[in-house]
Structure 1
Amino acid sequence: MTEVTSKSAGPEKKKYLIGKPDITPAHLDEVDLERLSLEIAHRTQADFGTASLEGGDDQGQFTMELLRDPETNTLHTLSVELTEQHVHELQERHQSALIIEQDEELFLQTHSGLQEMSQHPVFAPANAKELKVSIKVVDQSGVAVPGARVDLMGEVWSDQQVTNTQGNVTLRLFGETLDSLEELRIKPAIGFWSKIILDPNLALKDNIVTLSALPASLNTPQSELWGNKAVGNVAMPAGNRIRVAVIDSGFADGHPDVSAAGGRGFAVDGNPDEDWKLDDSGHGTHVAGTIGALNNAIGMRGVAEPVDIFPLRVFPKASFSKLIAAIDTAIELNVDVVNMSLGGTKESQLLRQRMQAARNAGILLVAAAGNSGGPVMYPAAYPEVMAVAAIGKVGSFPADSFHSRHVTPHKSQDGQYFSAAFTCYGPEIDVCGPGVAIISTLPGPGFGSYDGTSMASPHVAGVAAALLSLSPAIQGMARNAARSQALFDAVLNQCQSLGLPAERQGSGLPVLRAASTPPPPSPSADESWDAVSDLIRRALEAARAIKENG
Structure 2
Amino acid sequence: MARGMGIDVVATVPGLLPAALGTGEAATGGFVVAEIEPARAEALRRNVTPNIVIEENHRLSYGDKPIDDVATRGSLRLAAAGMTQSFPVKLRIVGRGGAPIEGAVVQLASDGLSEGRTDANGVATVTLFLAPGGRARLLYVDVPLDHWDILVHDPAITPGQSYELRAKSVFEAPELLPNFPGDFRFGWGQRLMELDRMPAEFDGTGVRIAIIDSGADPTHPLLQHIKQGFDATQPNIVGGNWAQDSIGHGTHCAGVITARPTSGHAMRGFAPGAEVIVFKIFPGGDFTALALCIRKCIELQVDVVNLSLGAAVSQNVMVDQQLDAAVKSGVAFIVAAGNSGDDVQFPASSRYSLAVAALGAQGVFPESTYDESTFDPTLPMDRGLFSPNFTCHGPRIAVTAPGVSIVSSVPNGYNPESGTSMAAPHVTGLAALLLAHHPMFRVQFRERNAARVNALYQLIHSICAPVALGPDRAGAGIPRLGSLIGTLLPAQQPGTGDR
TM-score relative to the length of structure 1: 0.76
Letter of the aligned partner of 1:257 in structure 2?
A: L
Aligned position for 1:114: 67
Aligned position for 1:187: 142
Letter of the aligned partner of 1:166 in structure 2?
A: N
Aligned position for 1:172: 127
Aligned position for 1:406: 374
Is 1:369 matched up with 2:337?
A: yes
Measure, in 2, the Cα distance between the counterparts of 1:336 and 1:184: 43
Q: Are 1:291 and 1:303, in contact at CA under 8 Å, matched by a contact in 2?
A: yes
Letter of the aligned partner of 1:295 in structure 2?
A: P
Measure, in 2, the Cα distance between the counterparts of 1:20 and 1:328: 10
Measure, in 2, the Cα distance between the counterparts of 1:144 and 1:484: 49
Measure, in 1, the Cα distance between the counterparts of 2:166 and 2:486: 45
Task: After superposing the two structures, state which structure 1 stretch, 253-262 or 317-326, moved more.
Answer: 253-262
Letter of the aligned partner of 2:302 in structure 1?
A: V
CA RMSD of aligned residues (A): 3.3
Q: Are 2:9 and 2:33, in contact at CA under 8 Å, matched by a contact in 1?
A: no
Measure, in 2, the Cα distance between the counterparts of 1:411 and 1:15: 47
The alpha carbon displacement at 1:205 in A equals: 4.8
- Aligned residue among 404, 424, 431 for 1:464: 431
Measure, in 2, the Cα distance between the counterparts of 1:18 and 1:275: 22
Letter of the aligned partner of 2:218 in structure 1?
A: D
C-alpha distance 306-20 of structure 1, shift in aligned 2 (>3 A): closer
Structure 1, unaligned stretches of length 5 or more? 1-7, 23-30, 44-65, 67-73, 520-550
Q: Are 1:15 and 1:102, in contact at CA under 8 Å, matched by a contact in 2?
A: no
Question: Where does 1:156-305 land on structure 2 (aligned, <5 Å)?
Answer: 156-175=111-130, 180-202=135-157, 204-215=160-171, 220-233=182-195, 234=198, 235-237=200-202, 240-259=205-224, 260-269=226-235, 272-296=238-262, 297-298=264-265, 300-305=267-272
Measure, in 2, the Cα distance between the counterparts of 1:176 and 1:294: 54
Task: After superposing the two structures, state which structure 1 stretch, 209-218 or 308-317, moved more.
Answer: 209-218
Q: Are 2:13 and 2:288, in contact at CA under 8 Å, matched by a contact in 1?
A: no
Task: After superposing the two structures, state which structure 1 stretch, 182-191 or 242-251, moved more.
Answer: 182-191
Structure number with larger C-alpha Rg: 1
Letter of the aligned partner of 1:224 in structure 2?
A: F
The alpha carbon displacement at 1:89 in A equals: 6.3
C-alpha distance 406-89 of structure 1, shift in aligned 2 (>3 A): closer
Q: Are 1:20 and 1:99, in contact at CA under 8 Å, matched by a contact in 2?
A: no
C-alpha distance 412-517 of structure 1, shift in aligned 2 (>3 A): farther
Measure, in 2, the Cα distance between the counterparts of 1:450 and 1:169: 23
Task: After superposing the two structures, state which structure 1 stretch, 275-284 or 233-242, moved more.
Answer: 233-242
Aligned position for 2:346: 378
Is 1:314 matched up with 2:281?
A: yes
Measure, in 1, the Cα distance between the counterparts of 2:57 and 2:231: 18
SS at match of 1:207: strand
Measure, in 2, the Cα distance between the counterparts of 1:463 and 1:148: 34
The alpha carbon displacement at 1:137 in A equals: 1.2
Q: Are 2:6 and 2:36, in contact at CA under 8 Å, matched by a contact in 1?
A: no
Is 1:142 matched up with 2:111?
A: no
Measure, in 2, the Cα distance between the counterparts of 1:515 and 1:416: 26
Deviations 1:329-376 (A, max 9, x none): 111111111011111122122221111111111111110111111111
Q: Are 1:245 and 1:312, in contact at CA under 8 Å, matched by a contact in 2?
A: yes
Letter of the aligned partner of 2:248 in structure 1?
A: G
Question: Where does 1:464-483 land on structure 2 (aligned, <5 Å)?
Answer: 464-475=431-442, 477-483=446-452
C-alpha distance 166-99 of structure 1, shift in aligned 2 (>3 A): same
Aligned position for 1:516: 486
Measure, in 2, the Cα distance between the counterparts of 1:193 and 1:142: 14
Deviations 1:2-46 (A, max 9, x none): xxxxxx9x9476979787658xxxxxxxx5x5xx48x73869xxx
TM-score relative to the length of structure 2: 0.84
Q: Are 1:221 and 1:298, in contact at CA under 8 Å, matched by a contact in 2?
A: yes
The alpha carbon displacement at 1:304 in A equals: 2.2
Q: Are 1:341 and 1:368, in contact at CA under 8 Å, matched by a contact in 2?
A: yes
Deviations 1:51-99 (A, max 9, x none): xxxxxxxxxxxxxxx9xxxxxxx96433334566588569756x22333
SS at match of 1:330: helix
